[in-house]
Amino acid sequence: MKGTIVLHPAMGRGHLVPMVELGKFIYTHHHQNLPIKILLPSPPNSTTLQYIAAVSATTPSITFHHLSPSQHLLHVLQTLISQSSKPKAFILDFFNHSAADVTRTLKIPTYYYFPNSASCVALFLYTPTIHYNTKKGFSSYSDTLRRIPGLPPLSPEDMPTSLLDRRSFESFAN
């Protein structure tokens, strides 16, 4: 049975493009005999469809599969396994972390990919420390700069809006 590498980006073109580039890199530099299948979590808009068409035309080793609302990841992967290709690896976007439960059930080696900038990674990794050292949300510290290792001092307007409110901030810290 032929193998494949499955990539699962989060919704949005900002997650799809880096995942496609990762797929191209893997195929070109490591596993030219393993095709790449990208599972799209939402219906693509017209701009994204043009991008997918361009990638498909220039890189036929990468194929795309849209997960419709009625399809579940488990069913798609079981179908993929039962047909012609067995997933050798599953690379999922950091924001699709719940997919790891499915891949664990199917015993598919799973890897996480965080397609954002290094500064975003630094902020998210340091978020629990900020959470435990402060009592209020970032918006309460309007005149205070936050010092995060590896980043310049940040004011509240530099922060992602989801971190300004203490209640949403807690979900990042846990």
93 included as an active-site residue: yes
165 included as an active-site residue: no
Which candidate in 31, 72, 75, 93 is catalytic?
93
Instruction: Name, in order, each residue with C-beta under 8 angstroms of 31's C-beta and a sequence gap of 6 or more.
Output: 5, 88
Which candidate in 8, 15, 65, 158 is catalytic?
15
Instruction: Name, in order, each residue with C-beta under 8 angstroms of 146's C-beta and a sequence gap of 6 or more.
Output: 130, 138, 153, 154, 155, 159
Annotated active-site positions, please?
Answer: 15, 93
